Amino acid sequence: MFKKILIANRGEIACRVIKTARRMGIATVAVYSDADARAPFVQMADEAVHIGPSPASESYLIADKIIAACKATGAEAVHPGYGFLSERTSFAEALAKENIAFIGPPVNAIAAMGDKIESKKLAKEAGVNVVPGFVGEIDDTEHAVRISNEIGYPVMMKASAGGGGKGMRLAYDEKDVREGFEATKREGLNSFGDDRVFIEKFILNPRHIEIQILGDQHGNVLYLNERECSIQRRHQKVVEEAPSPFVTPAMRKAMGEQCVALSKAVGYYSAGTVELIVSGADPTGESFYFLEMNTRLQVEHPVTEAITGIDLVEQMIRVAAGEKLSMTQDDIKIDGWAIENRVYAEDPYRGFLPSTGRLVRYRTPVPAWAGNERGEDGVRVDAGVEEGGEVSIFYDPMIAKLVTWGETRDEAADLQIAALDRFEIEGLGHNIDFVSAIMQHPRFRSGELTTGFIAEEYPDGFHGAATEDHIIRALAAIAGFMASAEADRARRTDGQLGDRLDPPAKWQVTVGGVEHKVKLGQKHIKVDDDRIDIALEYTPGDRLVIAEIDETELAVKVAKTRTGWRMTTRGRIHDVRVLPWHVAPLTRHMIEKIPPDLSRFLICPMPGLLVALHVGAGDKVEAGQPLATVEAMKMENILRAEKSGTVKSVNAAQGDSLAVDAVILEME
């Protein structure tokens, strides 16, 4: 077994590998860029080597620097994590030349499966179902248009070396192909150093199912069941679960055996994932097609670990050291249900725009990396950040992964909701409310999932989860309790209410524009004359309140405002106004402040690079016309005109780095 390994990655996956290596008694080496100098994974590792500036192209993507770090520290093997160099044949070959073990598959398997165009050819030759499309290189936009017309719309344009949702564009007509083909090439080049693109038919009502593969260097290959990854946004997975609510035992066996056969055909060993697209319109489940094989560990691997009890990172290390798998296919079971939500630095209330900045407050529902594969009491947090750290523009926007395990799917989902309510993030936008809303959504609960779930269920954007009436009443009661506690503190600290005055016990609480009368008694609270039995503790300044209502816990994140609190729970933000009863009638005399009209301005919705400016001063534009393209976190975002008009002035130039809310141009 290895005595020391180096992790050629960063963030949560670096922490993940370090945790297992530490348990196995293996020393670890971290490599880090300028941006990650104080990151948790650097502190967790036994040794750390600085490898360059913040951009990945100058640090994590340079194989020579990784190899130099191995030589300097005596690392015998390298775990690549996912992304970066994990699927680069040249990197694995370079390690082999230096007699450094690669904790991953053989070079020939990476080459065969890492190229999406070549992998489809091999899959087809092996008798595996593949999605209809053009398997070959595309010359230019006109060639792409001809191919798309022949296949029939809708089609999907994909970067050949792509992954993680990057370098993908869905086209419903020729116009979409013309607009998206070059952008797909650029994203492929910027993210993976390869601008080749292929086009395939887009399967309607698709479900995204993937099979976890594990093999050793002695010819043994197993499938560790499936994961459902259908809930995606912009082809980026958001929610993953294992097993799938759609897959039957017969389907699982058919998919697994086919994926094992494909893996054996390319001599695969280590952990890997075969991704399949399944037509949800086919009730038999027999219409599944090969999409690609990821020759590495997947972001969503924890849900497989939770239901099988198998540490995939440990198995990868043991396989790389030449050990045989200690299990057979008959040993692979399904115990319970696991769900993973990816917590991203993005603002769902503003169209999921990327959000960067400092984590002013960061509290996880359970300590990160606590417990085993199922975490602590069924809750697991895989994270690579800490309070005071920064989510930068240089890397992926994922903050953490929240994994829950339960005996049933509903139990795992309920644990997600409760844990998300206790997950505190301040300083930047995040998607906690959004994924909580998904966990509560009736369609998610029914298991009727497709990759179009988010677009179909939130066509007008996300505005918060639906809130039941009993939650509203509970929030009103909590707000009244907190208001009395704040007033009591003021009385006791400096006599702000006068020596003879008691803090008010009667409040008018407005939640969602609806007024409620709240009265605090000695042992209970009344909301609109209805008694609520509620138990909670609150000290002024607390940011998280845990209340017990009718023997059910409700966690509420609170932030003080001028007239009350902003309260967040169960996937929704509530602006709550709290006034004493005798003051409330006076509010009708207040002047309403009207926000300024900014519709004439094209405002940058996120920090990023202005890669293209499509119009100039004096140009006439139509509603929906592209005005500018901004790149943030390796993704290109097209900003379009909201209405027809004429460009009055342009305030930015191509190549500018823009801050959030920067004015790009102004309309007449």
Q: How many C-beta atoms surround the C-beta of residue 668 within 10 A?
A: 10
Cα–Cα dist 473/298, whole Å: 42
Contact of 151 with 200, CB cutoff 8 Å: yes
Q: What is the pLDDT of residue 215?
A: 98
| Domain assignment of residue 367, yes or no | yes
How many angstroms separate the Cα of 329 from the Cα of each of 223, 253, 258, 308, 581? 7, 11, 14, 12, 68
Same domain, 606 and 568: no
Same domain, 404 and 482: no
Same domain, 486 and 519: yes
Cα–Cα dist 281/287, whole Å: 9
Q: What is the pLDDT of residue 528?
A: 95
Kindly report the CATH number assigned to the domain that includes residue 659.
2.40.50.100
Q: What is the pLDDT of residue 508?
A: 94
Same domain, 484 and 434: no
Is residue 100 within a helix (H) or strand (E), and if so which, with residue range? none
Cα–Cα dist 183/94, whole Å: 31
| Domain assignment of residue 450, yes or no | no
The list of the chain residues with pLDDT below 70 reads 162-165, 281-286, 494-503, 586-590, 633-634
Q: What is the pLDDT of residue 494?
A: 64
Same domain, 632 and 574: no
| Domain assignment of residue 253, yes or no | no
Same domain, 622 and 649: yes
Kindly report the CATH number assigned to the domain that includes residue 177.
3.30.1490.20
Q: What is the pLDDT of residue 336?
A: 98
Same domain, 629 and 582: no
Q: What is the pLDDT of residue 188?
A: 84
Q: What is the pLDDT of residue 472?
A: 95
Domain with 65 in it: 4-103
Peptide bond into 154 cis (omega under 30): yes
Same domain, 86 and 142: no
Q: What is the pLDDT of residue 489?
A: 83
| Domain assignment of residue 575, yes or no | yes
Kindly report the backbone phi and psi dihedral angles of residue 137, in degrees, each rounded to the nearest multiple of 5, phi listed first: -85, 145
Kindly report the CATH number assigned to the domain that includes residue 356.
3.30.470.20
Structural domain count of the chain? 5
Q: What is the pLDDT of residue 590?
A: 67
Same domain, 431 and 476: no
Q: What is the CA radius of gyration of the chain?
A: 27
Which residue among 61, 88, 103 closes a domain? 103
Half-sphere exposure of 483 (CA within 13 A, CB side): 29
Which residue among 556, 589, 622 closes a domain? 589
At 351, is the secondary structure helix, strand, or coil? coil
Same domain, 479 and 574: yes
| Domain assignment of residue 59, yes or no | yes
| Domain assignment of residue 616, yes or no | yes
* Residue whose structure tokens are 């479900």: 207
Greatest extent of the chain over all pairs of C-alpha atoms, in Å? 88
Kindly report the backbone phi and psi dihedral angles of residue 419, in degrees, each rounded to the nearest multiple of 5, phi listed first: -70, -40
Kindly report the CATH number assigned to the domain that includes residue 35.
3.40.50.20
Q: Which of 247, 241, 273, 163 is nearest to 402 (CA)?
A: 241
Contact of 401 with 340, CB cutoff 8 Å: yes
Q: Which of 76, 187, 292, 373 is catalytic?
A: 292
Cα–Cα dist 404/590, whole Å: 48
| Domain assignment of residue 12, yes or no | yes
Which residue among 201, 220, 240 closes a domain? 201
Kindly report the CATH number assigned to the domain that includes residue 566.
3.30.700.30
DSSP designation for 161: E
Same domain, 533 and 567: yes
| Domain assignment of residue 136, yes or no | yes
Same domain, 43 and 93: yes
Annotation says 12 is catalytic: no
Secondary structure string (H, E, C) spanning 16-38: HHHHHHHHCCCEEEEEEEHHHCC
